[in-house]
């Protein structure tokens, strides 16, 4: 769950971090950051809880046409929420559209809070998995939709590619991978030392999807967010 706010932190290249021998520090620093974040919607969104309704509405409009219940080809059986936190997306986007949702997040405290946050519909949450995405492998053929939002900046490029190759194995027939994330405005990644997170420019995402063996079937910019923040794009991938 990469921080939503636009950062002015010093840029730091991935190669510099890797050459310094701090691969594990990159990941543990992120875990430490999120361990100290309040398990609320405001905490999940870096103090921007007010953007949540527009975010969810944009995601629903983006995803709905792909589902069989709306004339598409993708079933609405089981979805996976990657970087789920306390379940904001699970509760407000995925559970209203899918029969069952699984959650994966690196922070056990967030996952412990999910049942109470989601409320009565939490009975339809099946698996709750505590893992960083760099280590996570979905079970083969399980998911109609794998949703990844504001979390991929916590992966190095090679881990990003490996993760999405594993995700493809986790898809059910006609399944879909969806990504929603911030886009850096320049040509280079922005690196925020506070939460140990990259914000990649749009061409980097396109290149990494291609490297992962994925095809972009839909790409759309999120509308209705405050000015002064990163642009946010949504991708549907097969």
Q: Is residue 179 part of a domain?
A: yes
Phi/psi-derived region of residue 7, left when phi > 0, alpha when psi is between -120 and 50, beta in every other case:
beta
Q: Residue 21's pLDDT is what? A: 39
Q: Is residue 216 part of a domain?
A: yes
Domain span holding position 179: 14-237
Total domains present in the chain: 1
User: Rounded to 5 degrees, what angle do the CA atoms 163, 164, 165 make?
Assistant: 90
**For position 222, which CATH number holds?**
3.40.50.150
Q: Is residue 4 part of a domain?
A: no
Q: Is residue 169 part of a domain?
A: yes
Q: How many CB atoms lie within 10 A of CB 187?
A: 8
Q: Is residue 82 part of a domain?
A: yes
**What are the pLDDT tens digits along the chain (238 aa)?**
454 333 333 334 443 333 333 458 999 999 999 999 999 999 999 999 999 999 999 999 999 999 999 999 999 999 999 999 999 999 999 999 999 999 999 999 999 999 999 999 999 999 999 999 999 999 999 999 999 999 999 999 999 999 999 999 999 999 999 999 999 999 999 999 999 999 999 999 999 999 999 999 999 999 999 999 999 999 999 9
Helix (H) or strand (E) holding 79: strand 78-82
pTM of the predicted structure, to 2 decimals: 0.91
Q: Is residue 175 part of a domain?
A: yes
Q: Residue 24's pLDDT is what? A: 87
Q: Is residue 174 part of a domain?
A: yes
The pair phi, psi for residue 174, each rounded to 5°, is 65, 20
Q: Is residue 85 part of a domain?
A: yes
Rounded CA gap, 103 and 114, in Å?
Answer: 9
């Amino acid at each position: 769950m990469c921080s939503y706010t636009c950062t002015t932190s010093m840029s730091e290249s991935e190669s510099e971090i890797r050459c310094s021998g701090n691969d594990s520090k990159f990941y543990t620093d992120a875990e430490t950051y999120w361990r100290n974040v309040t398990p609320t919607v405001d905490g999940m969104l870096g103090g921007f809880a007010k953007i949540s309704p527009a975010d969810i509405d944009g995601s629903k409009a983006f995803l709905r046409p792909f589902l069989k219940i709306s004339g598409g080809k993708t079933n609405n059986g089981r979805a996976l929420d990657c970087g789920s936190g306390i379940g904001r997306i699970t509760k407000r986007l995925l559970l209203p559209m899918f029969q069952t949702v699984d959650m994966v997040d690196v922070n056990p405290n967030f996952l412990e809070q999910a049942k109470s946050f989601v409320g009565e519909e939490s009975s339809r949450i099946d698996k709750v998995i505590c893992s960083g995405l760099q280590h996570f492998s979905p079970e083969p053929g399980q998911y109609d939709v794998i949703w990844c939002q504001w979390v991929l900046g916590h992966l190095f490029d090679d881990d990003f590619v490996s993760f999405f190759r594993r995700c493809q194995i986790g898809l059910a027939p006609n399944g879909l991978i969806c990504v929603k994330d911030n886009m850096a405005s320049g040509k280079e990644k922005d690196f925020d030392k506070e939460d140990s997170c990259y914000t990649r420019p749009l061409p980097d995402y396109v290149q990494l999807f291609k490297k992962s063996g994925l095809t972009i079937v839909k790409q759309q910019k999120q509308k209705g967010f405050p000015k002064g923040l990163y642009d946010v794009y949504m991708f549907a991938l097969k």
